[in-house]
Structure 1
Amino acid sequence: MGKTADAIAEGVAIAYAAAKLVIRNRILVDTIARGEDFDAARFASFAQETLNHLAQEQEEAAELARRQAKRAWGKFSDSGGTHDYRDRDTRNLRKRRKQYRGVAKQLRLHAEDPHAVRVLVEQSRDAAWGDVAANLERRLNVEGMRPDLDPNYQMMRNARMQSLRLVDLPKLAAHRRHLKDGESAQVSAAAPSEDAPAPRRAGIDLSELDG
């Protein structure tokens, strides 16, 4: 399990990174998707809520570890699964509970510290802007790319030409044949049939006048 202080520090770092990710996403949604202005005070309040929520999760995990240790105490049989603890696990469960509670305490202290909250919001804002800037740069690189600057241009050009020969041109030829067959069918339908009766005028078979 390692030293308790080291485990608490690692847990706080992980929770802090998770909080920054949540706040960054909130900043992107509010400012980019909804078109709202960046309000540091409002995001500071959201950052406090996020830290307290993460602290609550750690406290709930500590309470779960306490119950698990209580159920495991006095059991010396073989374990039936990963979370089927026995008496030999109670020491680690108590240490785990202490670590969870230590992380929760630190997160609540961060939430009550205006400076820590402000730094968290600023870091989250910088991360959000980094995402926006990276997306813009990728888009500009794609739209402004010249064939001589693209190292993959020749390879992708060969793939596109092969797709043109094997897929697009055969589909176009089949489409043209379909149109041509349709035109031939229309011409055949319009031509007089040999079995059709000869035209008559005033009761006279006009075909008899031929020749």
Structure 2
Amino acid sequence: MWFRRKKPVSKPFDFSTLPQAAPASLEDMVSESIMLARFAARMALKNQIIIGVLRNSRAYDPADYTDAARDVLDEIVEESEESARLAWEEREAAEGRVALSKHQHDYTEGDTANLKRREDVHSTVASRLQALRDDDDYIAGFIESARDAAWTDIALAISAKLDRDWPTLASDGHGVELDTGPEYAQHRAKRLRQLSRDLTQLSREAKRTK
């Protein structure tokens, strides 16, 4: 007679045995928040530079974007200050409350420490970004990094357009590529008009992402 072997019963995993991850320090949280804020501000300024370059006939001048650079930083400072204020209000409302939370934003006494930490992070981010906003050297470097990002976007758009629509180029033997097609001159104006339309479209897309 054959007997089915019983499967061993495994014990439930004890999550309490896992090592506890150390909470991020206030400085780490502030540094990460500032990094993300600066990235968002640079993208916003980049889009303004793209629009300005495509609309204006005069040469690019970084001084034209000093006010815009400070404005995008001001917006993030205001957002951080508002977030700090909301965290303070939520902490004040949660003081002394011991009832069970009805939803994730229904804070109680046990949440006050985290809310205070959130308030401190947003307040510190706002303060440091305000200092950067008032630093002329930082603003100059900030505009330059946004310009580099703008130039990269424009160059990629032009390169993609050339790869798609322009005739195959032949090398002159010295590493320089020349268009030898007989229809080059005939269609050059048409291609340039299409390229202009593509750059206009890039400007519109940049405006939509502001």
Q: TM-score normalised to the size of structure 1?
A: 0.66
Aligned partner of 2:88 in structure 1 is: 66
User: Which amino acid in the other structure matches residue 50 of structure 2?
Assistant: L
After the TM superposition, which residues 191-210 of structure 1 pair with which residues of structure 2 at under 5 Å, given as runs?
none
Q: Which has the higher helix share?
A: 1
Structure 1 position 35, deviation (Å): 4.1
Equivalent residue of 2:148, what SS?
helix
Name the counterpart of 2:128. Answer: 106
Residue identity opposite 2:148 in structure 1: D
Q: Does 1:78 align with 2:78?
A: no
TM-score normalised over the length of structure 2:
0.66
The equivalent of 2:158 in structure 1 is 136
Q: 1:97 aligns with which of 119, 125, 137?
A: 119
How far the C-alpha of 1:81 sits from its partner, in A, is: 1.0
SS in structure 2 opposite 1:81? Answer: coil
Larger radius of gyration: 1
SS of 1:48's equivalent in the other structure is helix
Q: Which amino acid aligns with 2:83?
A: A
Instruction: Report the number of matched residues.
Output: 146
RMSD: 1.4
Which position in structure 2 is the counterpart of 1:7? 29
Q: Runs of 5+ in structure 1 lacking a partner?
A: 147-211
Q: Deviations over 1:45-93 (max 9, x none)?
A: 2111211221111011001000000001111111111211111000000
Is 1:57–2:79 an aligned residue pair?
A: yes
Deviation above 3 Å: which 4+ runs of structure 1?
33-37
Deviation at 1:34, TM superposition (A): 4.5
Between the aligned residues of both structures, percent identity stands at 28
Q: Which residue of 2 aligns with 1:33?
A: 55
**C-alpha distance in structure 2 between counterparts of 1:42 and 1:72, whole Å:** 47
Higher relative contact order (CA 8 A, sep 6+): 2
Q: Which amino acid aligns with 1:140?
A: L
CA distance in 1, matches of 2:166, 2:62: 35
Does the 8 Å contact 1:65/1:94 carry over to 2? yes
